[in-house]
Structure 1
């Protein structure tokens, strides 16, 4: 669907801007407010922190859920076995994610999507309305509870939610990614992945991703994306509500305190709200025929979402890791962001050229071929 492809393409831009920070700096190990607090980097970090960070991966997750729901409905229309096909497709995605995580970049999200997808496929028999309701409930209840607990901890013991930088982690990242051999970079990548994907951390990520996928699946089953032109008033109201509430929470560390409690409210409650606001705004914009034509290049990039996402990691790590140009830790945040924007423009052009010759992106074609293989 054109609407879904545009949203996917737009979400890939935001995801790349955020991921670029991790490509060129030890993102896991520092306090970002002090690390990027100088006069050169502060304005760029504020813009990314408020308008980009934690708002674009929810859009991508919802589009992933919508895609699975559409496949489910098409299988039902054709009376084919959706579950067996979906499981095989997710197993292939899991394999691609593992290659990406351990050989390219530790911040991979495909493993999480594949594992979460295994849970979602058993829920797709629910009605679209039920998926939407459960998605919002399952998301808001634990996030609201955890936010309350963190603010309570902040009141009782402020040090319990204070940011701490790991000097050892920072030094190891700079030494290995910036100057290390391939094996040293592999070891650091593995440590970073384990740091970000501890058992409790991985479970918490799934708790966040699953309800977002449910919301996307519910919207797809209700055909809300196809009926956008008939829902302009509703889309306008939702855009104002989501962006108003979301941006209020996204600015929490700036009107409140820059500690983990306010950042949790910002990222895990405000972030998805802003993402939903962006989605409804795009759907509203897409009701105009001129927008369909103008955003066609972005839609084609969204059609090649997996290829685009993976090549972003390959290009980003080649620029900054020592087996490439070795610029790790050497650029300002603004420069890194401009690099991301420039690369994304080239990816949009590449998608336009590729899809003028082929029906699918190269990795999408491989994914499809392996999913349909009988061997």
Structure 2
């Protein structure tokens, strides 16, 4: 009985830690686009000093494209959990899901247009609506569909890009969009709030609407929701928690494979789109799965679990913390705030990110000691269920 309770505690802790750790990893990557026109330049050529290049290499290999999969999977995990509870309680989840994802959809658009164009909430909401059609499926079907939708297109497109690079290396290079870089620096660095807003909308449109970008966004996010929902139904975290030695082996194998894939651009050449795509689309999710296995493994031991618990507090308030990161980032870097856009080094951005997140962890702990959920989470729940608590 005691062992069962320990496993249940480890499971709950690991879920919240995964959300919190994912939030920190996403913030590290987002910080690049808070203080520089990251959407439009080749990062391997943008940073000039050896210190900044080393820092970017570290982020590129260990962080980039390896934490948003975790966050997206946890989103699907949570949706499946709520679906199961709703079915047991009243036999229906569809309208609850529609209200829940509608709130996120509107919030995402407001966030993108008026705070930061790199918003991911809108995309999660659209994927959430799609997920409603699949939540009734079995765990094996959800996992199989998610893995097929994730890796089959990624492998095919990666091969096409690789063949294109072999046949025409010049056109396969990743170029810096000088015009868009200049527009971003002018708007965010010295423009009025209206000009910044116009630029935000333009950036969001380029990343989500132009040239089929939205379909590509769905292809890179929706599979993780399916995998997360399947993982919940399969009780994968419980199984990993119950067999820590096996989980450690899973981590070692996935981490080794993920690291090799993520290192491709640094070994074969960073300017080719094929290498960068394979690195993120295939290597990123593999490394993300290894992180999940490691967190679950560590959460089965008392001391590591206590060390990870601050991430759990931040994870319980992930929506609030995510939005606050954007608010602080825009106020620090945009012209209507402190105006440091394009004026700091990558290392300074990382230190700023660590500092802000450390403060968020402390504030989250203090808040969760007094309240059941974060402020934005409480509003989201009120809109979804029409009640507090």
TM-score normalised by length of structure 2: 0.94
- Cα offset for 1:3? 1.6
- Mark the runs of 5 or more structure 1 residues left unpaired by the alignment: none
Which of 32-41 and 53-62 deviates more?
A: 32-41
Matched, 1:78 2:89: yes
What does residue 42 of structure 1 align with?
A: 53
C-alpha separation between the residues in 1 aligned to 2:61 and 2:30?
15
- SS for the counterpart of 2:236 is coil
- Residues 97, 132 of structure 2: 8 Å contact kept: yes
C-alpha separation between the residues in 2 aligned to 1:162 and 1:182?
35
- SS for the counterpart of 1:324 is coil
2:232 to 210, 220, 240: 220
Q: 1:263-301, CA deviations, whole angstroms, 9 ceiling, x for partnerless residues?
A: 000111101111111011100111112233222221111
Which of 358-367 and 125-134 deviates more?
A: 125-134
Matched, 1:304 2:304: no
- SS for the counterpart of 1:295 is helix
- SS for the counterpart of 1:28 is coil
- Cα offset for 1:61? 0.4
- Residues 228, 287 of structure 1: 8 Å contact kept: no
C-alpha separation between the residues in 2 aligned to 1:264 and 1:210?
18
- Cα offset for 1:222? 1.4
1:37/1:241 Cα in 2 relative to 1: closer, same or farther (>3 Å)?
farther
What does residue 289 of structure 1 align with?
A: 302
C-alpha separation between the residues in 2 aligned to 1:195 and 1:134?
29
Q: 1:39-91, CA deviations, whole angstroms, 9 ceiling, x for partnerless residues?
A: 23111011001011110000000000000010111112213421110111000
- Residues 70, 292 of structure 2: 8 Å contact kept: yes
Pairing of 1:162-241 with structure 2 (within 5 A): 162-199=173-210, 200-241=212-253
- Mark the runs of 5 or more structure 2 residues left unpaired by the alignment: 1-11
What does residue 7 of structure 2 align with?
A: none
C-alpha separation between the residues in 1 aligned to 2:286 and 2:216?
18
C-alpha separation between the residues in 2 aligned to 1:65 and 1:48?
25
Q: 1:97-132, CA deviations, whole angstroms, 9 ceiling, x for partnerless residues?
A: 111000000000000000001111211111112211
Which of 314-323 and 230-239 deviates more?
A: 230-239
Matched, 1:344 2:357: yes
What does residue 358 of structure 1 align with?
A: 371
What does residue 3 of structure 2 align with?
A: none
C-alpha separation between the residues in 1 aligned to 2:143 and 2:244?
19
Cα RMSD after superposing both structures: 1.2
What does residue 101 of structure 2 align with?
A: 90
C-alpha separation between the residues in 2 aligned to 1:52 and 1:229?
24
Matched positions, count: 374
C-alpha separation between the residues in 2 aligned to 1:220 and 1:161?
40
Matched, 1:250 2:241: no
- Cα offset for 1:37? 3.9
- Cα offset for 1:216? 0.9
- Residues 18, 52 of structure 1: 8 Å contact kept: yes
What does residue 20 of structure 1 align with?
A: 31
C-alpha separation between the residues in 2 aligned to 1:198 and 1:237?
41
